[in-house]
Every structure is written in structure tokens, then in C-alpha cells.
Chains A and B, each alone.
Chain A
């Protein structure tokens, strides 16, 4: 490597790597960049838990008394729903972050660099997965404080959290597309909420689906948020909730969403201006 200040020749020292090797390295770099932001702005983590904490308190102490679950305290039924709510609304942050990068011209710069095209999205969604791990652990601790207990074992808990985090990761790819299509944070947020609200609230998150009117039950029972919640209940509560089919179905949904939306998001990224 030459030491002349800004020599016009291509005198840089570039290591040799395969395309895949570079894609992995670039993804790591982008994930690093997004995690630095998280470390520097810890309030982002706090904000991510404000809404679910309010829901925990509200449903645990205000509405919960009116909702009866056979054989289980309501708080045990509630918490898997809150985890789903946390990762689902957290996925909006992926879109918001990308919309901000787009708005500030960072995506433009990334596109002029010899980096892998997929890395901006993969790095962002991976960083958001790491963030979700922290947020879900925080919610788990808060759940414990208000009386949530697991009824299976540690392995069930870990598997349950893994199923939920994978589901959250799959959702981030959907919201990445929304973020890349809107180009400012406010619009990304406004566009995401109406998509998520029916999925999170018309689900088994807070009340048993059987208490809903018949026409809504068909949707509420079979939509992916309910299935992810039921899978987590199967793994951490067991008993009448034990249902390996739901666990497999949730994994299928998550992988299916990634398989469809990750390529769409990368395509959207290539075109986003």
C-alpha cells in the first residue's frame, strides 16, 4: 500500500474473498453499525418496551380479572401474547431505520460502494434480531415480576423464545419492504401500524379466540401471530396448550415469510431511490 496521500491510481490493498464471503463480512459490518446505534441510544430499547409493559400491567391488573383460563393463571396465558406483541411492533423499527437511511442518503452511498447488495438488509434485520433478544429478555423479567411462571422446563422456555424470535425476524423482512417504499420514518410508522394492529389484537394474544364472534374466529385462529403465540404456549405452558403441530406450523410460517419477503426486500432495495 502506498503512502501518498490521495493517489489517483488504484493502489489499495483489497483482500481476496468469495462473493459469499464478502456478503457475510458486509452483513457483519452493517450489523455492527446498527448495534453501535443501539448502544449509543439505549432509549431505543426502553421505548421498545414501554408499550408492552403498559399492556402487561393493564391486562394483568385491570382486564385480566375478567378473563378466565381453565387450569392456568391469566398472567401465564398473557405473557406469550405480550412477547408476540413486542416482536411484532418491534419489527416496525426495521422499516423506520431503513426509511431513515434512505432519507439521509446513506443507502445512496451504500449503493455506490462495492459491498454486497443484500448486506444492508441482512445486517439491519440481524441487528434487530439481537435487539429483540434483549427486549424479550427484559419482558420475560417483567413478566416474572408480575407472577408469570413457566410450566414446562428451561429447554421449553429457550425453544419458545427461539420460535418467537424467529417469527419476529421473519416480520422484519416485511417491514423492511415498507420502510424502503416510504422514505421517511413517520410514513413508515404510519403505514406499518394498520397492518400489525389487526394481526396482534385479533389474535389469541390477550383473550381466548373462542370468546370472539364466529366470523372473526376463523381469521384469529389461523393467522401467523396467533400460531406463533400458541406455539410458545405449547412450549412454555404445556398441559392443555401442548400442541407440537402449532410449533411446526409457526416455524413453517416464519421460514415461509422469510423465503418470500427477503428476496422481495432485496429487490426493493436495488430499486429504492
Chain B
């Protein structure tokens, strides 16, 4: 029976499909009709601030949580109708490194292997292979309580892979890691994806989504507010951003007036810098310099940059990506969850 399912799954175009997904916690709406799908073998970055509904979506797709409306399918299997079949095919590494601190690295992998119903005799070899791959061989026989944060995350990720799941869910895999640990984990994730694993990744770090994800879905307050590739999302803002620092606020105000025909110009919070978003690439720099020169405005500093996903996020949501979640009433009267769990 399992074999039959697999055949049809392999031909599947979308490994994950979510439509009209709804979830309420009491009066709090965590997901309000979310749609997205992940083509097999690709990486989807689910992006949003704390409380946006990212983790709720992951928990529904991994059968941990039921949903109130809409549909969620993994490899063509409905998560609420066939949770057991879904669980056999997915791996999950959550927000906290969910490893047993008193077990060694090797024992942790054995635990997950046994509970994933692998043949017991196949588990030790698989555990060794993963420990090797995640650079944990030296620590394999030490209790996980002696591991650093980065090592725990790697062990947690290894545990999610013991049963070779074709679909992997990573819920904020690098939150709380130092930059070194983060880039290390990114490299591992990139290797996994190269092997053909379908990955759904939630993150608050735009840089992470930018680096790892083929497609990005931005959710906020339980709604999808944008989707596309990172390039597409950035293009929504205009191709180029010119940052010009001037001597004082009066000059900045004059510069704003002079530059406004070239694109969207805003005076920055510091009062003496302006930022211009324009569509015609690096060429705009020449126009900027000419216009400023014509008005005899001398920039203190002038820089040209590509928009980051942070810019996109600010534009889409009206707030930054790492805004701390608060229990505030939003304009349409819905309340956001305070904890990161949403």
C-alpha cells in the first residue's frame, strides 16, 4: 500500500500544496485563508514577522496541529485524513533544537530512527552517516547537553533526516545561532536541496530566504501578502536605490525636490539623508549627480545599492521583519498572538 502511494507521489508536480488554509486559536485568527504550493525539489521560504502564522502553517503541514478550514497536502496526501502516511514522509526541525540532552548524539538519532519505524539493524549505519555529514563524529558519544548551540541545531537537523524524508520542514532553523553557525547550517541545507529534497523553510531573516529559497511567500497577520522569487520581490521596489547624505536638513529638503522627477524620494529619519528608488538601474546615478550639481548641492556621501528583502518587507508590511511581536489590535480588529508560536 505504501509502495503504491510512493509511485504516484514521485510523479507529483507539487510536494506541498496549501489552499484556503484557516486556523483559529479561540478568537485569534492565526491563518486566514493561506494559499501556496511548493514544486517538488524546490525550496520555499515562508517569510514573516513573529506571530505572522508561519509556525502555525508548518505545524499543520507536519500533522502536529489540526486546521479549521481549507486544505493542506503533502505529496498528495491530505494531512488531516492521512496523517500517518504524511509522518512517514516528512522531516521536521523546529524552532528549538529538539534533542534529548541526556542522550548522546548517536542515541538521539537512534531514538528518532526507532520511532520512525526503521529496521533497527539499519539505524546505526544511518546514524554514523549523518554524524559524519554534520561534522559531529567527535561528539557522537557525548551527551547532547555538552553540545554548543550550533552543534545542537546540526544534530536536530540530522534527526529530521534519519528516515530520508523526501519533504523537509525547517522552522526558523538558524534563529539564535551566531553568524558562523548560521553559515555552516546554510551550507548543509544547500547540500540537502542539491540532493533533491523539497524544503519548506520559515525564517525571519531575509538574508536567509534570499540565499536559500527558490520562491518566497510573505505572510503577515495570517495572510499571504506577496509571493515570488527574491528577484521578483525586489523588482517591485525598483531596481536601484541611491542613498545620498547631505550637509544638513535644508540641503536634504532641496535635494528631495530636485530628485523627485527621477523616482520615489524620501528624506531619511536622520534628517540629512535622502533615499531615491528608481527603475533605470545604475544609469540613474549619472542623473542624480547632474541634478545635484545643477543645484550646487554637494553630497557628503553617495551610495548605490540593490534593494534588500528588508526593503521589500518594510514596503509590504509597513513594518520591519524583526519587529517584536506584541499583543496589539490591528486595523481590522484582529488580534495577533504574542508568542512566536503563531
Contacts and interface: CB of A to CB of B under 8 A. Distances in A.
B196 A7 contact: yes
B301 interface: no
A273 B129 contact: no
Contacts of B196: 7-8
B195 A33 contact: no
A110 B195 contact: no
A36 B96 CA distance: 22
B130 to A, nearest CB: 9
B84 interface: yes
Contacts of A15: 117, 119
If over half of A's interface residues share one DSSP class (helix, strand or loop), that class is named, otherwise mixed; here it is loop
Contacts of A70: none
B2 A10 contact: yes
Contact of B10 (A9, A13, A26): A9
A112 interface: yes
B112 interface: yes
B111 interface: yes
Contacts of B118: 12-14
A29 B116 CA distance: 11
Contact of A11 (B115, B116, B164): B164
A197 interface: no
B88 A114 contact: yes
A106 B94 CA distance: 9
Given A10-B2, A33-B111, 8 more contacts: A8-B197, A10-B166, A14-B2, A36-B103, A106-B98, A108-B98, A113-B115, A119-B115
A184 to B, nearest CB: 13
B75 to A, nearest CB: 9
Contacts of A112: 62-64, 87, 90, 92
Q: Which 7 A-B pairs have the closest CB atoms?
A: A105-B98, A8-B196, A105-B96, A114-B87, A37-B102, A115-B115, A8-B166
A109 B102 contact: no
B164 A113 contact: no
A111 interface: yes
B243 to A, nearest CB: 41
B272 interface: no
B195 A36 contact: no
Most chain A CB neighbours (cut-off 10 Å) among B59, B99, B117, B197: B117
If over half of B's interface residues share one DSSP class (helix, strand or loop), that class is named, otherwise mixed; here it is loop
A30 B103 CA distance: 12
Contacts of B116: 12, 113-115
B129 to A, nearest CB: 7
Given A5-B129, A6-B197, A112-B64, A12 B164 contact: yes
14 contacts: A1-B119, A10-B6, A14-B2, A14-B88, A14-B118, A29-B115, A30-B115, A33-B111, A40-B102, A106-B99, A108-B64, A108-B98, A112-B87, A113-B115
A1 B99 CA distance: 26
The size bracket of the interface on A is: 35 or more
Contacts of A6: 161, 164, 192, 195, 197
B119 A13 contact: yes
Interface of A: 1, 4-15, 17, 22, 25-26, 29-30, 33, 36-37, 40-41, 104-106, 108-115, 119, 273
Given A12-B163, A37-B102, A106-B100, A113 B133 contact: no
B107 A36 contact: yes
Contacts of A4: 195
Contacts of A33: 100, 103, 107, 111
B76 interface: no
A25 B116 CA distance: 11
B159 interface: yes
Interface string B80-111: 00001001111010111111111100010001
Contacts of A113: 87, 112, 115-116
Given A36-B102, A105-B98, A112-B92, A9 B87 contact: no
A36 B143 CA distance: 11
Contacts of B6: 9-10
B240 interface: no
Nearest to A26: B115
A19 B2 CA distance: 15
A7 B164 contact: yes
A96 to B, nearest CB: 14
B102 A10 contact: no
A108 B115 contact: no
B94 A108 contact: yes
A7 B84 CA distance: 21
